[in-house]
A and B are shown apart, each in its own frame.
Chain A
Amino acid sequence: MQGITSFLQATLRLATPTLLASLGIVFSERAGIVNIGTEGMMLIGALAGVMGSYYTGSVILGTLIAMLVTVLFVSIFGFFTVIIKADQTVIGTGMNILAAGLTITANRAVFGASTSPPSIDVFDSWRIPLLADIPVIGPALFNQPIPVYLAFLFVPIAGFIMFRTNTGLKLRAVGENPRACDTVGISVTKVRFLAVLYSGVLAGFAGAFVSMGQMSFFTEGIISGGGFMAVAAVVFGNYTPRGVMFSSLVFGAAYALMPRIQAASMGIPGQFILMLPYLITIIALCLVIRRSNRPTSSAVPYIKE
């Protein structure tokens, strides 16, 4: 029982960065933008969060700073893909390298080559009274850092926005048929750019949660594929918030399994256990059967006649 509780708890916590980031890019994907640069956005968020928390002494302020910096960063992506209409994949790859270069340089400049990471304010678990006393699932579901609750509570809200509001309708229409939207007076450029900026808010939050919720410092390889998994989670989740939650939980479970397989010492070399999340991501992409929600104009720039 103890084992199940701690496994569930770890799954939810480890699913959170993927969930946060993919709840952001599911909107920009729906508008027709494929953002392979999500990895870079999370990396920027992770460092900006640590720096923010270091200078302000508050993890909340640090997270807000991370969101702000990531939005500024992703506006470069938006500029090149939405306004200049350059190839989204290539720009996304460039953004990932840019994020790596900027974070390495800034991290060295600010924290220097010191071996011990600076101590910063981080997210603590926040126990919900009564609910956390439920046996087995109580401590797993209701004794988590705040971002975990926020991420999961946001799933139905995101679903509502996407399928029940005018904003969501416009967004999906722009991804399906930008020319028709343009004809009826919806600005494709504006909708896509705002969707990209919005995805930056959540990716920054996701990155900040990795560096200040799962760890308490920044390293150059801190995201190591998390952003790409978020992109995969959107495809695997068939472009809906609920589906994205499901795929994030699958990836979270893969991460949660790793130390447990290691502890069970079944003679599997550690390196093969570390491959698990990446293998699961590949398998998930191969298992996608329903692609019904993939926007027709995905990754196709819109050029006015």
Chain B
Amino acid sequence: MKHSLSTKVTNFVRNLYYPIVAIVASLLLGSLVIIATSTTSPIDAYRSLFVGAFGGLRQFDETLLKAIPFIFTALSFAMAKRCGIINLGAEGQFAIGALMGTIVGVSFPNLPLYLHLPLTLIAGFLGGALFGLIPAVLKVQFGASELITTIMLNYIAKELISYFVNGPIMDSASSSYPQSAPIPETARLGRLIPGMRVHWGLVLALLAVLFYYVYLWKTKGGYELRVVGLNPHAGSYAGMNIKRSIIRSMIFAGGFAGLGGCIEIIAVQGRLMMTSFAVSYGFTGIAVALLGSNNPVGIVVAGLLFGGLQNGALKMQAMTTASSSVVLVVQALVILFVAGRLMFRLRTGRYLKQRTLAIPPVAMDERGEQR
């Protein structure tokens, strides 16, 4: 028993090595950007960032609040990635989820809460799922690479939001401003703890993480999905339907992002606006998923970290001359360093040997078939 515990501890520390190195390296390089573009010293800038993010209960409350959407979009990226699909469309799926949630939210003002709120959340999930289904179908039917189609759908989603807040769901009370009417109380997600801003969305986010874990590791469908992601050839040989797995993974991926978008509107922002998506939730989710290595616990921890960065960046911008956009640079560097973690390997030779001995990744063409 003692042995297995020590192995567990070693593995745990080993798993933390790369993420921590990646974050430290990113912050160090980010400090160069702060030096080049502001009069604040990086130490002062980062201090105000970290105090702003984790300095006290109120700050941590805000960090939790900011982490919720990132956990959802990270789940979106991770779910697709587990099936070998690169979902760059969480941005658009998040927006469409927010749009569908808003439409249901403002369209039925007289429903009781126990009906209205679930319906709104379901609409958000379905909106995102539909927007995730489109690139999946285009991929399995026409072989269109999801890398491009998901990105294109992000731009299309942006225009759809613009159309709706300028037209069909525009608030009649403020006719000159492109925004929806406020979400009625029956469709709002309340606060989790009185006096704090964090809301029930946190619980839903953790339930989504739990679902992600149970589905992928405890069900047959999830097992197939992961096998297809690891080795489509083996999956197909074992009689698994690759196309069905791809479609299923993208429905869940889109649904997670859509639910996150819906929650962000009904719990935090209160109404849909053109500026509702100023934070690029989808792309931050990619960084979160990568940092958490698509692992349920990893995603929650990385989500909190990025929530903190997002929250602290605003404080940093308010307190110092450093721009909040530095956080975007740090986020990008985290992606580069996590994906390129080989460069931090202490003994490169050993790794390469391991890698060539392991089963080589199977190249998949755009139809999801092995070449």
**Least distance between B349 CB and chain A CB atoms (Å):** 12
- How far does the alpha carbon of A109 sit from the alpha carbon of B323 in the complex, in Å? 8
**Taking the nearest CB of chain B, how far is it from the CB of A35, in angstroms?**
11
Q: Which of B187-195, B206-214, B333-341 contacts A (4 or more CB under 8 A)?
A: B333-341
Residues of B within 8 A of A89 (CB): 86, 147
Residues of A within 8 A of B355 (CB): 303
Tell me if A60 is interfacial: C-beta within 8 Å of chain B. no
With the chains together, A106 CA to B33 CA distance in Å? 9
User: In the complex where A108-B325, A225-B151, A296-B371 touch, is A97 in contact with B340 (Cβ < 8 A)?
Assistant: no
Summarize A's interface: helix, strand, loop or mixed: helix
Given the known interface contacts A87-B339, A296-B371, the answer about A232 and B148 at a Cβ–Cβ threshold of 8 Å is yes
Counting CB contacts under 8 A, is A134 at the interface? no
Within 8 A of B (CB), among A263-305: 269, 271-272, 274-275, 278-279, 281-282, 285-288, 291, 294, 296-300, 303-305
Q: Do B329 and A85 touch across chains, with their CB atoms under 8 A apart?
A: no
Residue of A nearest to B33 (CB): A105
**Are the C-beta atoms of B326 and A91 separated by less than 8 Å?**
no
Q: Chain A residues with Cβ under 8 A from B231's Cβ? A: none
Q: Are B160 and A271 in contact (CB under 8 A)?
A: yes
Kindly supply a per-residue 1/0 record for chain B positions 321-352, scoring 1 wherever the CB is within 8 Å of any chain A CB and 0 otherwise.
00101111111110110011111000000001
Which residues of chain A have C-beta atoms less than 8 A from B290's C-beta?
90
Shortest CB-to-CB span from A100 to chain B, Å, is: 6
Chain A residue nearest to B34 in the complex (CB): A105
Contacts of A209 in B (CB 8 A): none
Interface residues of B in 245-281 (CB under 8 A from A): 280
Chain B interface main SS type: helix
Question: Which residues from B are CB-within-8-Å of A300?
Answer: 361, 363
Contact A93 B88 (CB under 8 A): yes
Which residues of A lie under 8 Å from residue B37 when comparing CB positions? 105-106, 108-109
Shortest beta-carbon distance from B268 to chain A in Å = 23
- Interface presence of B149 (CB below 8 A): yes
A-B contact count (CB 8 A): 158
Interface residues of A in 164-203 (CB under 8 A from B): none
> Which residue in B162, B286, B325, B371 is a CB contact (below 8 Å) of A105?
B325
Q: A101 at the A/B interface (Cβ < 8 Å)? A: yes
| CB pair A285 B340 closer than 8 Å | no
Could you tell me the distance between the alpha carbons of A123 and B131 in the complex, rounded to whole angstroms? 40
Nearest CB of B to A290, in Å = 12
Determine which of B33, B286, B366 lies in contact with A93 in the assembled complex, contact meaning CB atoms within 8 Å: B286
Nearest Cβ on chain A to B123's Cβ, whole angstroms: 21
Q: Given A86-B339, A105-B329, is A231 in contact with B159 using a C-beta cutoff of 8 Å?
A: no
Closest to B135 in A: A282
**Contact partners of A269 in chain B: CB under 8 A:** 163, 167
B148 lies within 8 A of A231 (CB): yes
- A94 in the interface (beta carbon within 8 A): yes
A286 and B356 alpha carbons, distance in the complex (Å): 35
Quick check: B147 and A95 within 8 Å, CB to CB?
no
- The verdict on A286 contacting B142 (CB below 8 Å), with A98-B333, A279-B156 known, is yes
- Does chain B have a CB within 8 A of A104? yes
Contacts of B235 in A (CB 8 A): none
Q: A105-B323, A225-B152 are in contact. Are A76 and B142 (CB under 8 A)?
A: no
Residues from chain B with Cβ under 8 Å of A272 in the complex? 159, 163
Q: Is the CB of B356 within 8 A of A275?
A: no
In the complex, are the beta carbons of A271 and B162 less than 8 A apart? yes
Q: A101 to B329, Cβ gap below 8 A?
A: yes
A191-230: which have CB < 8 Å to B? Answer: 224-225, 228
What chain A residues lie within 8 Å of B167 (beta carbons)?
269
State in angstroms the CA–CA spacing of A86 and B361 once bound together: 13
**CA separation between A80 and B147, bound complex, in Å?**
19
B25 at interface by CB-CB < 8 Å: no
Say if the beta carbon of B155 comes within 8 Å of chain A.
yes
User: Bound complex: CA of A300 vs CA of B144, how far in Å?
Assistant: 19
Q: Does B145 contact A (CB under 8 A)?
A: yes
The 8 A-B pairs of least Cβ separation, nearest first, read A101-B328, A94-B335, A98-B332, A101-B329, A109-B37, A97-B332, A286-B142, A285-B144
Q: Beyond A275-B155, A278-B156: 13 further Cβ-contacts under 8 Å?
A: A84-B342, A90-B335, A93-B88, A97-B331, A99-B332, A101-B33, A105-B323, A105-B328, A109-B323, A228-B148, A288-B143, A291-B365, A303-B352
The 6 listed contacts between A and B (C-beta, < 8 Å) are A101-B328, A105-B33, A235-B148, A282-B153, A286-B144, A300-B363
Interface residues of B (CB under 8 A from A): 33, 36-38, 86, 88, 138, 141-145, 147-149, 151-153, 155-156, 159-160, 162-163, 166-167, 280, 283, 286-287, 290, 323, 325-333, 335-336, 339-343, 352, 355-356, 361, 363, 365-366, 371
